[in-house]
């Protein structure tokens, strides 16, 4: 499954469960995660989506490490199975 398809399907699932699902772009900061998820309870999670065989670039690893160093909840989700599991985890459904 292509990354864009995983992104779309995961977004649809999250929205049906009441989450906000935003494309995250930070000009001047390449390598930041793809998406921001905000749950109905106010939990904020930054998500980097990859295909099952996709890999993080060194820049993505650095940016994620910086964010996690500031206590941000940042996840790398690989493939459709992990995307479904992520949705179930953050929504409790």
pLDDT in tens, 12-26: 999 999 999 999 999
- Given this model, what pLDDT does residue 43 score? 96
Q: Which helix (H) or strand (E) holds 82?
A: helix 79-91
Question: What's the gap between Cα 17 and its chain centre?
Answer: 16
Q: What is the sign, positive or negative, of the torsion defined by CA atoms of 9, 81, 72, 69?
A: negative
Query: For residue 56, which of 34, 73, 72 has the smallest C-alpha distance?
Result: 34
For the chain, the domains span 3-91
- Given this model, what pLDDT does residue 22 score? 97
What are 30-87's pLDDT values in tens digits?
999 999 999 999 999 999 999 999 999 999 999 999 999 999 999 999 999 999 999 9
- Given this model, what pLDDT does residue 31 score? 95
DSSP 19: -
Q: Which fold has domain 3-91?
A: Trna Endonuclease; Chain: A, domain 1 (3.40.1350)
């Amino acid at each position: 499954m292509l990354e864009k398809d995983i992104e779309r399907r995961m977004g649809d699932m999250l929205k049906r469960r009441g989450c906000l699902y935003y494309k995250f772009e930070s000009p001047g900061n390449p390598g930041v995660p793809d998406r921001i998820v905000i749950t109905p309870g106010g939990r904020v999670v930054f998500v980097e989506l990859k295909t099952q065989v996709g890999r993080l670039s060194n820049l993505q690893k650095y940016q994620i490490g910086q964010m996690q160093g500031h206590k941000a909840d940042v996840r790398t989700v690989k493939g459709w199975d992990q995307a479904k599991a992520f949705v179930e985890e953050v929504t409790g459904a």
